[in-house]
Structure 1
């Protein structure tokens, strides 16, 4: 019994040290995404400082429009950082690259995830979530295929009526055919999925314009690739919000989002994913920051990142 107690105590101390050592990295874009990847860091989740003196760390090189919007970075099971992004407003593929240190990146490539859909208008805000149980990565994004869904056809912005689609991969070389991931009868974009014990939590944007929603909601599933619930009530306030990304600090969730009509960033936090408090006034974010995601690195990795980025 004494040995078990000591083991639990040591494990708790180790987790505490790791938590104190953690540095949070926010990947984002500026303007229209033409200059590429920007990174900021934080140690507390509220005050974020931009790296590389505000300069891009990676110039977009794929897609017809050469944009790098909505960058999503995760740490893979292979130890590498994997990134996907929106390459264009009107193309049927997404961008992909990997890195060992967030500074030096593999050659960029386009993944033609919706090339088989002749009527598809776009591939927006792709993200990646790793399924540890199946050792696969799921890449998912929003696409409009005119006439595919009657619900929401006249309630969006112009001709857009998005749903969330996905592919899976083990190696970012071979991909399964694209399938529908989320359709609950409304216009939806900006899905961001995180594992939470034995379930997956999807933060999403209700893109309905008429009557106006433009807010962040939550859906859950026991399986990464489907079965997500109807959306919760909005967790954001009386303003338009998009691009949610979540960070869990201890028992507290912080969800960041772009309050894009107000040209500022916002955040809400909760300990139970049901009752939310707006903490936007606590945030200090880089000027011009747009839609992005958060990934956690170690203090040692952060020191290397500072050195390699010329800080």
Structure 2
């Protein structure tokens, strides 16, 4: 953590199958399991803290890129001791197939509040949580931030690695109740933060933030032992600032690396992809291709089975609202501001301005209308061809102006465009970031068609 950070959480959930020892003695998820989806764990913050919640949040995804928050983006569990809040939670599958949740003991941004403890829960499948406790990691008056867990087969113990005093420390445990003494794990001669560890075959990979240049780096070790890591990648950065590296396998066998942007004017996440985690070859992903959970911070992602995905959705439910993401400005979402409809770069507050209940069309149930979440009874409607938020007066004109038909996206058929009910040659589009309805067709310019194309997301 930095003194200005708005972190991700950390989670690493494998399959429902038991973890088995790999050829090199490192555990790996049993490959007999068929991975069909992913889970994301995080806490939430927004620029002026309207979206701040320091409990454990979960989201799921089929493609590992576009996410559906669970429990209406409310926490599924919250600490009841210590500082009564968490940051940076990780969900880790132990060798017996059960799960442990471990997280920083910190609520809010009081960076001088140096808890020596981590929050810990047990869980079978993230549909309930038991055995809540706090575990003391060290006796020095340093922070204990951003824990990550890995299995050290040579020791026959789990390593719990965390940020403390601009180095990474480790405690070893077999039960996440009793831990050994804190040891220095990674201290390369400059300040580091936010370690994330993945064991792949005979190699242990550690990704971290270099506090000197503000970039993310990867290091590796053939043993996973303390002080055995060598940095092998170039520094990575997107946006104006980045931290909290998140490394995970994809269901297709590749790798993704995510980083948390702590600038309040930039996208909250950036991502890279690579076919080979051991190579220095990370390619930035296009922001059109991924949409993190609303207000999510310092999270991590892992593979889950179809049964696990269905169990999580059944237990916690999916949102009753949507967001609309711009095709050609993918960091921007449709929102209302002073009753004017526009697209603005996320994140912003009030963050609920971008949340819509997409309901049956007020004038035709075959169409859709967009009701504001934070102003119930008010809808997007066009007036003099400009879109605005207005209270439903239940007139024929209002109902017609507030009704649109979903069509295949004019610029991308996998996305969506919205055709006006009462002006059927006109579509919702943005112009100078403001929304209006204009005459458009498949023969319109590429820019015009992109302006009228949106992704329906959560």
TM (normalized to structure 2)? 0.56
Does structure 1 retain, via aligned residues, the 8 Å contact 2:249–2:303?
A: no
Q: Distance in 2 between matches of 1:121 and 1:138?
A: 19
**Which of 159, 162, 179 is equivalent to 1:138?**
159
1:303 and 2:319 correspond? no
**Bigger relative CO (Cα 8 Å, ≥ 6 apart):** 1
Are the equivalent residues in 2 in contact too, given 1:127–1:141 (CA < 8 A)?
yes
2:219 counterpart of 1:215: no
Aligned to 2:246: 245
Could you tell me how far 1:134 is from its partner in structure 2?
Answer: 4.0
Report the counterpart of residue 149 of structure 1 in structure 2: none
Equivalence map 1:5-154=2 (5 Å): 18-19=33-34, 21-31=35-45, 34-63=53-82, 65-88=83-106, 89=111, 90-114=114-138, 116-117=139-140, 120-144=141-165
From 259, 262, 271, give the equivalent of 1:260: 262
Query: Which of the two has higher C-alpha Rg?
Result: 2
Determine the C-alpha separation between the residues in 2 that align with 1:280 and 1:52. Answer: 28
Rounded to whole Å, the distance in 1 between the matches of 2:127 and 2:219 is 34
CA deviation after TM superposition for structure 1 residue 217, in Å: 0.4
SS in structure 2 at match of 1:84: strand
Q: 1:190 to 1:35 in 2, by over 3 A?
A: closer
Alignment of 1:158-177 (within 5 A): 162-177=166-181
Q: Report the number of matched residues.
A: 271
Displacement of 1:238 after TM fit?
5.4
Give the conservation status (yes or no) of the 8 Å contact 2:142–2:164: yes
User: Which one has a larger percent strand, Structure 1 or Structure 2?
Assistant: 2
Contact 1:70 1:291 in 2 (8 A): yes
Q: Is the 8 A contact 1:40 1:49 kept in 2?
A: yes
Inter-partner Cα distance in structure 2 for 1:215 and 1:141: 18
Query: Would the alpha carbon gap of residues 54 and 229 (structure 1) be closer, same or farther in structure 2, given more than 3 Å must change?
Result: same
Q: Secondary structure at the match of 1:66?
A: coil
Q: Which runs of 5+ in 2 are unaligned?
A: 1-29, 319-458
Q: How does 1:218-237 map to 2 (within 5 A)?
A: 218-226=218-226, 227-230=228-231, 232-237=233-238
Partner of 1:104, secondary structure, is: coil
Identify unmatched segments of 5+ residues in structure 1: 1-13, 145-161
| Cα distance change of structure 1 residues 239 and 294 upon mapping to structure 2, 3 Å threshold | same
Higher helix share: 1
Q: Would you say the 8 A contact 2:57–2:73 is kept in 1?
A: yes
1: distance between equivalents of 2:99 and 2:315? Answer: 16
1:108 deviation in Å? 2.0
- 1:197 pairs with 201, 220, 232, which one? 201
Distance in structure 2 (CA, Å) of the matches to 1:69 and 1:228: 26
